[in-house]
Structure 1
Amino acid sequence: MKILGISGSASLQSSNFYLLKAIQNEINEKHSMKIIENLSEFPLFTPQRLENGIPKSVLNFKKELIHNDAIILSTPEYTHNIPAVLKNMIEWCTHSGEFESKKIIAMTFTPYEPRGKFAMQSLLSSLKAMKANIITQFPLYRTDVTFSNREISFTEESKTLIKEAVELLE
């Protein structure tokens, strides 16, 4: 199965990106996974931009959405919501349907409980509006992983959770 990992963070050094890299390492024997880490390349969506043509960065992203079987989306929580770059990415796909019926694992990755709760609500609302097929959703916290030189290792419990979630995509 081909999986697209999307880091919803505006930061290029995001822990959400490194989380997706760790997931990629866990599942690479069974599935191929490509990670999109920089949504900040997308210009701000406005309906008028559609009239002038879709930017190449957005077109390339939409092709990735189409050519992958599933998506693992990981986001932090900014001011009780998803980051603006993630919302902007979703808006670029609102009318074109790339998310429709696409299998998705939605995750929040934040420092500690209960952070991430509001971001998850916002993310799920947007994905449901796009008619995405949300297979499962869950929060992960820094207490569920170990950081070492920008690499993430999972606890046994979180490793099992990740593997079971990916199995649901099959």
Structure 2
Amino acid sequence: MANPLSLYALCGSLRQTSTSRRLLEALSAASPAGVSIEICDFIGDLPIFSPDEEGDRTPAIVTTFAEKIRVADGLIVSCPEYVHGIPGGFKNALDWLVSRDEVPFKPLMFAHASHRGDLVLAQLTDVLQTMSLRIVPEAFLRVPLAGKSDEAQTAMLAEAQESGALRAALDRFTQAILAAA
């Protein structure tokens, strides 16, 4: 890969031990040379969105969040389903980006850590397409970690690593990014 690619990963769960985060960490560890993945650690610190706080009044943390997205070559989203929907903190983060120019046409990959949760995937697809992100469906990755013991999760992630499933999803995503460049 001639130029390194920088991917920014957004976790829809605020739990540090969430299966969504664990999947993002596994993807980061599996990333090939020339591809870096940074996982956002401050979605829960963003203030509640208000259009009155945009423009010159945009909080510094929101500006930092938006800048991380701006410089990324692509986004990876891993989000659980909470009560058949998008978790509030994650939706709040997306709300801060709606009227900004960092996200339109940015490539996006879903990494899903559950055997269920198709409602949240459909809702996220609708919201993110409305925000003009370019979802790369061929890069979709599902590793059903949710509800499994820590040992079972570790084994499943090791298998996904050894089988090449993690790397293959990342390869499909990076190929789509490079093809559109």
After TM superposition, the structure 1 = structure 2 runs for residues 120-131 of structure 1, keeping only pairs within 5 Å, are 120-131=121-132
Out of 137-146 and 22-31, give the one that drifted further: 137-146
Shift of the 168–54 alpha-carbon distance from structure 1 to 2, 3 Å rule, reads same
C-alpha contact (below 8 Å) 2:85/2:119 kept by paired residues = yes
SS of 1:81's partner is coil
Report the equivalent of 2:43: 39
Unaligned runs of 5+ residues in structure 2 are: none
The CA distance in 1 between the partners of 2:79 and 2:113, in whole Å, is 6
Report the equivalent of 1:169: 177
* Higher relative helix content: 2
**TM-score (normalised: structure 1):** 0.85
Report the equivalent of 1:65: 69
The CA distance in 2 between the partners of 1:146 and 1:158, in whole Å, is 17
What is the Cα deviation at residue 5 of structure 1? 1.0
> Is 1:147 equivalent to 2:153 in the alignment?
yes
Shift of the 154–8 alpha-carbon distance from structure 1 to 2, 3 Å rule, reads farther
SS of 1:33's partner is strand
* Higher relative strand content: 1
Deviations 1:52-76 (A, max 9, x none): 7111111100000001110111111
C-alpha contact (below 8 Å) 1:42/1:58 kept by paired residues = yes
The CA distance in 1 between the partners of 2:131 and 2:27, in whole Å, is 25
SS of 2:91's partner is helix
Shift of the 84–165 alpha-carbon distance from structure 1 to 2, 3 Å rule, reads farther
What is the Cα deviation at residue 28 of structure 1? 4.1
> Is 1:89 equivalent to 2:93 in the alignment?
yes
Q: Of residues 25, 29, 39 in structure 2, which corresponds to 1:25? A: 29
What is the Cα deviation at residue 51 of structure 1? 6.3
**Number of residue equivalences:** 166
SS of 2:85's partner is coil
Q: Of residues 6, 12, 37 in structure 1, which corresponds to 2:10? A: 6
Report the equivalent of 2:166: 159
SS of 1:90's partner is helix
What is the Cα deviation at residue 46 of structure 1? 1.5
C-alpha contact (below 8 Å) 2:27/2:167 kept by paired residues = no
- CA RMSD, aligned part only? 2.6
Report the equivalent of 2:110: 106
Percent identical: 20
The CA distance in 1 between the partners of 2:47 and 2:18, in whole Å, is 20
Shift of the 19–55 alpha-carbon distance from structure 1 to 2, 3 Å rule, reads same
